[in-house]
Amino acid sequence: MPTRLELSPVTRIEGHLAVTTDAEAVAGSSGRPAYKIVRARCRGEMYRGFETLLRGRDPLDAQQIVQRICGVCPIPHGLASIRAQEMAYGVKPSPNGRLLQDLILAGNTFQSHILHFYQFCVPDFVDAAAVTKYAGQDRALVGLKTWVAGGLARGGKGLEAYPASPLLPHDDLPDRAEPELAFRLFGHYLEALEMRRLADEMGAVFGARMPHSTSIVPGGCTQTPTEERIGSYRSRLRRIAEFVERTMLPDVIALARSFPRYWDLGVGYGNMLCYGGWESGDAGPQPFAPGAVVAGKWEPLDSEAIAEHVGFSWFSSSSGLHPSHGETKADPKKASGYSWLKAPRYKGLPMEVGPAARILVNYRSPHPWPGRKEVDDLLRRLGVGPEKLVSVLGRLTCRAFEAMLLAKHASKWLDRLDPNGPPAQDFDRVKNGAGFGLVEAPRGALGHWLAIEGGTVKHYQCVVPTTWNCSPRDDAGQPGPLEKALEGLEVADPEQPVEVGRVIRSFDPCLACAVH
Ligand code: NFE
Ligand code: MG
């Protein structure tokens, strides 16, 4: 008899994700009985309605409103809206304007990637109670040890905020990192909080404030790139670059060496989509070019081939529409529905988006890509081939690796800022027009589609990275990418399904974004 396993909500992420899996008993590799997932369903548990509340508003307000879709990745939402407006207004950002927008996005991406690994992912692999056994002198770890030990001495008091987390004593927790690795990762957990503060400060240098920037506008940015601001950004970028290269990437590699079987878990379809997105000015190679990988083969991006299915979503809208005429009609009682996410498909296929998609699409591209040699070096260090990048560990290593790559690009973008040049390009508003903006958010390909009529928003649709990754089944019954990645996964102990959490979190889901 299949066993139903319900994880709701999945903790440590933004918003409400529920995952239901059906598993059957199998002989486990350790000789004990285990459970193998035969099917999984991802459910977005809330409706937000940004696409409908934008209708009838001034399009210039859109980049402010859409940033409120998320506190983790507000900048890509703002920029997708700005790209869509720029297309509608027929304006191209000034060179400074584009660089400033990309530098603000870079700050936001560092913040999000560091958050994902240390705050969301590490607790899946490390039993924090192990820190009570720490005998070294590291001040951060000694502080953490005192805090955890105090909580444990009070019977978990003060730690109740983490009911499902390894901060509570679980001597029987399966498959956890050895103490030495645990000490190392938890020591950096605290440093990561400081790095995230720096990354948000970087965003605020040109973004005027974070998390929701007030300075990004169609045509560029309202903050001028003064020498002082450039210096302020650069000093923080240096520290982030050093942290990513000397701490985060080595930590991810150390984790990979301790849990090598996760190169083969959470694999899924392997179809990858990348919008490119980083296009500062017109000079110099950019971090990622757009494209797709389908059945292992690269192909150019065709944004007309995107459609959203709603057969299994709580929407009564027509299914299979391109987002330029997509609809958002909520139908919470729809019998076939099981999620508030739509199911975006590319040429009818479920596609994975995110750091692994950005890297694999560019790695497989026939065009020259400056990152290819560095990916080869990384793969050599890891002792795996590029096909392994579609896995739990592939997603984690790609995230840290691309943060390093991005830091190098951001440093060059800073060099190209002209303190005497205009930070934005002027433009004329239009009564009627349409456009779309494709960017790369930390979690992957993000698109906003806009139509303006009579000077106000007539139509607005967002297709968001987590909507791609955590989508429900489409009209043809094909599971979404995360649903597929969970199929066949073995769970050693259904009371402690750590494997499921590790696969889910490798996609870095953000449900606040996904349901928008
Ligand atoms: Ni709310 Fe977002 C998603 C990212 S879209 S975190 O999914 O990254 O900009
Ligand atoms: Mg949408």
Percent of the chain topping pLDDT 90: 79
pLDDT tens by residue, 106-136: 999 999 999 999 999 998 898 777 788 889 8
Non-local CB neighbours of 98 within 8 Å, separated by 6+ positions: 220, 279, 280, 281
Tokens of 511: 């449900």
Cβ 462 under 6 angstroms from ligand 1: no
Is pLDDT of 304 > 90?
Answer: yes
Distances in Å between the Cα of 65 and the Cα atoms of 2, 86, 89, 91, 455 are 45, 17, 19, 21, 17
pLDDT tens by residue, 226-236: 999 999 999 99
Confidence of residue 151 (pLDDT cuts 50, 70, 90): confident
H runs (alpha helix) in 116-247:
122-125, 139-153, 179-207, 227-243
Confidence of residue 3 (pLDDT cuts 50, 70, 90): confident
CA distance 414 to 107: 12
What are the two backbone dihedrals, phi and then psi, of residue 382, each rounded to the nearest 5 degrees?
Answer: -85, -20
* pLDDT top residue among 129 and 158: 129
Is pLDDT of 170 > 60?
Answer: no
pTM of the model: 0.95
Distances in Å between the Cα of 458 and the Cα atoms of 50, 321, 431 are 13, 17, 11
| Residue 278 CA to ligand 2 centre (angstroms) | 22
Is the Cβ–Cβ distance between 266 and 486 less than 8 Å? Answer: yes
Ligand 1 atom at minimal distance to the Cα of residue 513: 1
Cα torsion for 333, 337, 338, 342, to the nearest 10°?
A: -120
Query: According to the model, what pLDDT value does residue 16 have?
Result: 87
Query: According to the model, what pLDDT value does residue 158 have?
Result: 52
Which ligand does the CA of 330 lie closest to? Answer: 2
- What value does the mean pLDDT of the chain take? 92
Is pLDDT of 162 > 50?
Answer: no
Cβ 486 under 6 angstroms from ligand 1: no
CA distance 291 to 248: 28
CA distance 89 to 455: 11
| Residue 466 CA to ligand 1 centre (angstroms) | 7
| Residue 244 CA to ligand 2 centre (angstroms) | 33
End-to-end CA, the chain: 37
Which ligand does the CA of 72 lie closest to? Answer: 1
Ligand 1 atom at minimal distance to the Cα of residue 512: 1
Confidence of residue 139 (pLDDT cuts 50, 70, 90): confident
Mutate to test the pocket of ligand 1, among 13, 68, 73 (most ligand atoms within 8 A of CB): 73
Which ligand does the CA of 515 lie closest to? Answer: 2
Please state which of the ranges 13-17, 150-154, 389-393 shows the lowest mean pLDDT. Answer: 150-154
Query: According to the model, what pLDDT value does residue 188 have?
Result: 93
- What is the three-class DSSP state of 386? helix
Is pLDDT of 257 > 50?
Answer: yes
CA distance 266 to 237: 33
Rg (CA), the chain: 23
Tokens of 490: 């073995």
Angle formed at CA 211 by CA 206 and CA 214, multiple of 5 degrees: 50
Query: According to the model, what pLDDT value does residue 163 have?
Result: 42
Confidence of residue 176 (pLDDT cuts 50, 70, 90): confident
Is the Cβ–Cβ distance between 435 and 413 less than 8 Å? Answer: no
Ligand 1 atom at minimal distance to the Cα of residue 442: 8
Number of Cβ within 10 Å of residue 20's Cβ equals: 16
Cβ 113 under 6 angstroms from ligand 1: no
pLDDT tens by residue, 77-102: 999 999 999 999 999 999 999 999 99
Cβ 13 under 6 angstroms from ligand 1: no
CA distance 316 to 314: 7
